[in-house]
Structure 1
């Protein structure tokens, strides 16, 4: 696991402290120490000011040019430390001005800064797991669960392990020998007209791709046929010949993007295109997870781990070509198609603009507009804690319905009020707030109550089949998937739509055994379901 780690000693007479195993010294002046683990020397770039009072150290991949690093250290000497955080590349920026040290990760959170403090020493690292190993901290299960269920929500200073803090992306952890650690946020960027921003993008995007071109070595790109990967591939082909990979499956094989990818490759002679069909390679989601020692180690849960089998098949042509770097179009929608959240704009008072954004969002996602408008209005009238509580209630209600409806109330971590209400057994897993008789129908105002239905006597009631006493292991109700997922080879498990679905097979019986519970008089029997 590659990372950069350092310590700041508070003691007047510092003693030698722990250092990472297999580390290379990056900085050591007695009080401030820093090491690199797994980073070769060519992934370290230094720039020093003319008077020697300021320094910028960059550690990582895709480093900027020496001229850009020198401009960043000159800006830091004038107090603009955030200039180092805006450099291109995926790297950690260590900005030293006098005896003050600022640690800046990437704005896209590809490199993050974590820290923990004791009585004598403050330790920081780009790996939260390394600090947890140093202090013996346990994982923060609530934080890890929130990172999966609330994708896109910035957690702030909450870390992945107890006692290990996290610096928000783009911010700096400021360390000084005689001061407490502080988190500094960069100044907000100055807005610019759309035409000026488009011109800046036209200049910066080819420059960024050119900086990542390996000199005299082969490289590769993704070429799905979309705007993002297509633009990256065309700009990369202007620098050197490359290998472009198009991955398809049953859902993507007949889409227009696949045809666009073929047209782009035909227009550029320097592009060697490889079409990888997941149906032929047999790659599926959640493959390659049995080899636990071979899985990548990450601080937070990564959804990309579920695509290891697909990525292995997709990158096989690039590996065979000896590619020294692989470019993708991931994140292009976040940068080029990003706009303020409609719910945030609604909450801030710009309700008309928020509803227009919601309508545009629904049109771009090819979904109905009214549900999106209702969701934006409902979310805008509430708060984020309430929205998260409602999300937890919805998820837990569905989980309770899939388990048969027997679930008790789940209280919040602070124990003040429940996140979700109990689920009524046998009523489709619908949550309720007021105690009522199970499955009692709601009455509309002004409508008379129905006459109770007569209960059949023992003479008219059909015989009740014996209730199963042994359930087969692994039996489940078969349901029809709602729609195919992103890959036709993706195994999907759809929970039962209601808690009334019956298991129609018992140990030692056939699939034609009568279903439980028995059908009502006058109704056709329910066909047995496969298990």
Structure 2
């Protein structure tokens, strides 16, 4: 696994990252697994700057940024294209700055002589064998919003830097500082469109640096990236086409490849094994990830896509449209914001349009949105805490429940009363500290991106470990997030147009064919999820049964999980998302028991 780490404090630390490489000019900073070309550093006396990852700044730009470092203008150091970790030293202060989507997360733990920081929580936990924290894991399973418990990580004694914050280390101690506003000043869709186009073009350009380039060619988001890349050179475009999906991705992909020069199209057919949950009989085939990862459940599908690419070329970069939905559109939950702001006419108009798409009534949608319109984040968490202290609910599809700032998932109803009570107490404490945006959409957008970013980081490990291919998800880049989320949710999610922001950004540019921009359909993997649930039910029953690590911690109980699996096996609707979360968490907990050595002895200290 790729990770970075650093020590801030006295010189007596007794560990070094195993296989770590020191970062030039930043004493006490190491990278593990990162190629040398993705680690760059500049410095001048007590001022130093390093970027780790895909950063669009050249060395001259990094040098010119040193006065910004000296002035501690931290946010400006995150404005280059790409996705990367920033480490900046200004005198006695050190700032460690992750990205806005959690692809480069930051954690820390303080000891007597100083502070360790790392992009891997598992590595910091391994310093003394700190166990997973059941309450934090309960929040992950029941709420699926990474920032709900703020600085809690999934491990005891390891702290997490929340989204939009940086870690600031000084002789006085360690703490987090917000560098990104909780909400952006609104920019109209038409005004934002050129900025989105420029940011996406730069983001793709950063990845097209001489390596072989491949790309998904499926939905609107991935197609946009593939077409942008094709302007810079040849692209191997791949479409996963399984007859069980019954979508029109392949038809659009074939037509696009025939229209856009530079796209060489390959179709990857489905097979009996390209379903969810395949291959979980042997967890050793999965790479270790830093937290529960959704792609552990879909690894067989990912490998099917990557296998033909690896056969053609290794050390390439593969573009994916992950997170396009999160930044280019918005769920109808923004209706709660319109109601809160008394934009009743607009709320009614949008509810009518959404209702037509969902074959329901506008009144039903507004009734679902009204409770969230009447409270803020802190109040919502107190309500959720009260609900956790009541008996578990019967299962109802999430889409039928009221809109919520932090929806309580079906996994919460599978937990023991004791775990539910501890999670409720943690939520009540978090509510006292909550500093949230005024709009539900702004909060939910950031949480969706943080979740997708963490999962995509796991996909990257799968691709690197098994195929030597670098996964690139430009829609998760901080500059893309800023450009897109500045557009209000009710404009990005306008029900009369499909992803209007992307359409406005690339209309009449010649980058995307007009028939692509006119597309209103989207594929989905529900059929493969249900097929996997049916075909691999015995494996899932074993994973989540009596020997389950989650069960031992009270995070799942046998009866409701068995009932959910039985419904799936019978082809009935079930809590797919909850099962997905639980299986990924179980896989991760089992992998922790066989994780590789993270650290080695610092021989300079050992022999002193």
Please give the TM-score of this superposition, normalised by the length of structure 2: 0.62
Cα distance in 1 between the residues matched to 2:95 and 2:194: 32
- Give the 3-state SS of the residue equivalent to 1:5 in structure 2: strand
Residue 496 (structure 1) shift: 5.5
Structure 1, unaligned stretches of length 5 or more?
420-482, 500-531
1:249 aligns with 2:242: yes
Cα distance in 1 between the residues matched to 2:204 and 2:303: 24
Change beyond 3 A, Cα 1:197–1:74: farther
Change beyond 3 A, Cα 1:367–1:207: farther
Higher relative contact order by CA 8 Å / sep ≥ 6: 1 or 2?
2
1:42 aligns with 2:37: yes
1:277 aligns with 2:269: yes
Contact 2:24 / 2:41 at 8 angstroms: preserved in 1?
no
What residue number does 2:152 align with? 158
Change beyond 3 A, Cα 1:260–1:286: same
The number of residues matched between the two structures is 420
Residue 163 (structure 1) shift: 1.3
Cα distance in 2 between the residues matched to 1:246 and 1:143: 37
Residue 57 (structure 1) shift: 0.2
Residue 393 (structure 1) shift: 7.8
Cα distance in 2 between the residues matched to 1:342 and 1:171: 25
Q: Which has the larger displacement, 97-106 or 380-389?
A: 380-389
What residue number does 1:18 align with? 15
- Give the 3-state SS of the residue equivalent to 1:181 in structure 2: strand
What residue number does 1:398 align with? 394
Cα distance in 2 between the residues matched to 1:102 and 1:249: 47
Change beyond 3 A, Cα 1:143–1:368: farther
Cα distance in 1 between the residues matched to 2:423 and 2:223: 49
Larger radius of gyration: 1
Alignment of 1:109-508 (within 5 A): 109-152=102-145, 154-155=147-148, 156-177=150-171, 179-188=172-181, 189-215=184-210, 217-224=211-218, 226-253=219-246, 255-278=247-270, 280=271, 282-323=273-314, 324-338=316-330, 341-342=333-334, 345=337, 349-350=341-342, 352=344, 369-382=362-375, 383-386=379-382, 388-389=384-385, 396-398=392-394, 412-413=421-422, 485-487=527-529, 489-492=531-534
Contact 2:106 / 2:120 at 8 angstroms: preserved in 1?
yes
- Give the 3-state SS of the residue equivalent to 1:101 in structure 2: strand
Cα distance in 2 between the residues matched to 1:338 and 1:193: 15
Cα distance in 1 between the residues matched to 2:393 and 2:279: 32
1:54 aligns with 2:47: yes
Contact 1:342 / 1:355 at 8 angstroms: preserved in 2?
no
- For residues 484-515 of structure 1, the C-alpha deviation after alignment (integer angstroms, 9 at most, x for no partner) is 64556332479769x9xxxxxxxxxxxxxxxx
Contact 2:88 / 2:94 at 8 angstroms: preserved in 1?
yes
Residue 359 (structure 1) shift: 5.5
What residue number does 2:606 align with? none
Residue 295 (structure 1) shift: 1.5
- Give the 3-state SS of the residue equivalent to 1:149 in structure 2: helix
Cα distance in 1 between the residues matched to 2:100 and 2:371: 30
Cα distance in 1 between the residues matched to 2:416 and 2:35: 54
What residue number does 1:456 align with? none
Residue 380 (structure 1) shift: 3.1
Structure 2, unaligned stretches of length 5 or more?
397-409, 429-524, 538-560, 567-608
Please give the TM-score of this superposition, normalised by the length of structure 1: 0.70
Contact 2:348 / 2:362 at 8 angstroms: preserved in 1?
no
Give me the CA root mean square deviation: 3.6
Contact 2:138 / 2:423 at 8 angstroms: preserved in 1?
no
Residue 362 (structure 1) shift: 5.2
Residue 106 (structure 1) shift: 0.8
- Give the 3-state SS of the residue equivalent to 1:282 in structure 2: coil
- Give the 3-state SS of the residue equivalent to 2:392 in structure 1: helix
Q: Which is helix-richer, 1 or 2?
A: 2
Residue 182 (structure 1) shift: 1.8
Cα distance in 2 between the residues matched to 1:360 and 1:158: 40
Change beyond 3 A, Cα 1:213–1:68: same
Cα distance in 2 between the residues matched to 1:365 and 1:6: 50
Contact 2:3 / 2:31 at 8 angstroms: preserved in 1?
yes
Cα distance in 1 between the residues matched to 2:225 and 2:414: 52
Contact 1:56 / 1:84 at 8 angstroms: preserved in 2?
no
- Give the 3-state SS of the residue equivalent to 1:184 in structure 2: strand
Cα distance in 1 between the residues matched to 2:113 and 2:284: 35
1:5 aligns with 2:5: yes
Contact 1:56 / 1:95 at 8 angstroms: preserved in 2?
yes
Residue 197 (structure 1) shift: 1.2
Residue 398 (structure 1) shift: 3.5
- Give the 3-state SS of the residue equivalent to 1:301 in structure 2: coil
Contact 2:25 / 2:42 at 8 angstroms: preserved in 1?
no
2:28 aligned to which of 14, 28, 33: 33
Cα distance in 1 between the residues matched to 2:164 and 2:109: 19
Change beyond 3 A, Cα 1:204–1:46: same
